[in-house]
């Protein structure tokens, strides 16, 4: 079990979606928060909401984790603002859309790996050793169900999450008995702004229809429960556990869906998709940003 009340806690990607919901839930459990993301105005809004509930105002840290070195600077700022960082929630994420040969080793693909893999590892490098010396702490790594599937135009992003997932499971073994608890959170489709840009991929609606769309608040509650009960894995929505446990079957099923979707495209549209690379995320290309913003407008919570 992890004592959340009074624990210095860094949550990355806290400006929206799963990160924001998790930060709120942790604050209500008494955590001393530092919240990080690229958009200061959204972080300040989150801090205002937490303060309005009579809770301790979070430390607001603006960081672009797509930039090499930003994670080390963030770790230092979090330690300066909180003292000990007892809980790290590695939630920040970004992506890239495009065929594997189009993404290649270009800037968009490398940025996706920086956000989804290298920056979380940099935070671990700085924050886990002090946890080990104290003999207590927790790491929450948000990976993705994308680690077990392969959809056209989705492969580079999926590879970043698969790499992070394997690193997380390795760390669980390495830190066994150290007092540092590691949780892997594996979301399937969740009602966040990323759903807007995900749906730019032709035919992916057919895949997304195989799983219910989860709610970030429900996932946040499961993350906090996992911390409090010492669990090692959270899969949400729960129906996705089948794909995680039996990935071979899931991949064959997704392959059939994808090939049928591709076959339905005309030749010019298929060629266009094979040659296009789109940066996703809140600081992504205009097409992706507009898709995110449209989703947010259409699914705004009052």
Active site residue 236: no
- Work out whether strand 278-279 and strand 96-97 pair parallel, antiparallel, or are unpaired: antiparallel
Q: What is the pLDDT of residue 228?
A: 96
Q: What is the pLDDT of residues 226-240, one digit of tens each?
A: 999 999 999 999 988
To the nearest whole percent, how much of the chain has pLDDT over 90? 68
When the candidates are 3.40.50.10860, 3.40.50.10470, 3.40.50.1100, 3.40.50.720, the CATH number that belongs to 8-298 is 3.40.50.720
Q: CA 137, 140, 141: angle at the middle one, nearest 5? A: 140
**Spatial separation of the C-alpha atoms in residues 114 and 105, rounded to whole Å:** 12
Q: In the structure, what pLDDT confidence band is assigned to residue 98 with cuts at 50, 70 and 90?
A: confident
- Mean pLDDT (the chain, rounded): 89
Q: In the structure, what pLDDT confidence band is assigned to residue 302 with cuts at 50, 70 and 90?
A: very low
Q: Where are the domains of the chain?
A: 8-298
**Spatial separation of the C-alpha atoms in residues 97 and 151, rounded to whole Å:** 10
CA distances to 13, 200, 216 from 20, rounded to whole Å, are: 7, 24, 9
> Which of 117, 157, 236, 253 is the catalytic position?
157
The mean-pLDDT minimum among 18-32, 207-221, 262-276 falls in 262-276
Q: Are 1 and 228 in contact (CB under 8 A)?
A: yes
Q: Are 114 and 281 in contact (CB under 8 A)?
A: no
Q: In the structure, what pLDDT confidence band is assigned to residue 108 with cuts at 50, 70 and 90?
A: very high
Mean pLDDT of 85-95: 95
Q: What is the pLDDT of residues 20-78, one digit of tens each?
A: 999 999 999 999 999 999 999 999 999 999 999 999 999 999 999 999 999 999 999 99
Please state the pTM of the whole predicted model.
0.90
């Amino acid at each position: 079990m992890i004592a959340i009340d009074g624990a210095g806690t860094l949550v990355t990607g806290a400006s929206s979606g799963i990160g924001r919901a998790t930060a709120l839930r942790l604050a209500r459990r008494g955590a001393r928060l530092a919240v990080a993301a690229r958009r200061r105005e959204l972080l300040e809004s989150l801090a205002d909401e937490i303060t309005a509930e009579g809770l301790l105002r979070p430390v607001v840290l603006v960081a672009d984790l797509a930039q090499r070195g930003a994670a080390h600077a963030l770790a230092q700022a979090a330690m300066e603002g909180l003292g000990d960082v007892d809980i790290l929630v590695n939630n920040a994420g970004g992506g890239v859309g495009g065929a594997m040969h189009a993404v290649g080793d270009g800037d968009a693909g490398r940025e996706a790996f920086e956000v989804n893999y290298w920056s979380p590892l940099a935070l671990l490098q700085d924050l886990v050793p002090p946890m080990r010396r104290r003999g207590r702490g927790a790491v929450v790594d948000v990976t993705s169900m994308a680690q077990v599937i392969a959809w056209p135009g989705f492969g580079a992003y999926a590879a970043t999450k698969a790499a992070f997932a394997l690193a997380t499971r390795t760390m669980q073994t390495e830190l066994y008995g150290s007092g540092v608890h590691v949780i892997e959170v594996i979301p399937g489709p969740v009602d966040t702004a990323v759903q807007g840009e995900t749906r730019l991929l032709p035919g992916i609606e057919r895949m997304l229809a195989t799983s219910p769309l989860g709610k970030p608040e429900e996932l946040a509650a499961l993350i906090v429960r996992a911390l409090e009960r010492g669990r090692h894995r959270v899969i949400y929505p729960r129906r996705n556990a089948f794909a995680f446990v039996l990935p071979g079957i899931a991949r064959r099923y997704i392959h059939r869906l994808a090939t049928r979707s591709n076959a339905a495209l005309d030749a010019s549209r298929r060629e266009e998709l094979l040659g296009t690379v789109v940066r996703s995320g809140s600081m992504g290309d205009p097409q992706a940003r507009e898709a995110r913003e449209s989703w947010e407008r259409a699914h705004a919570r009052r």
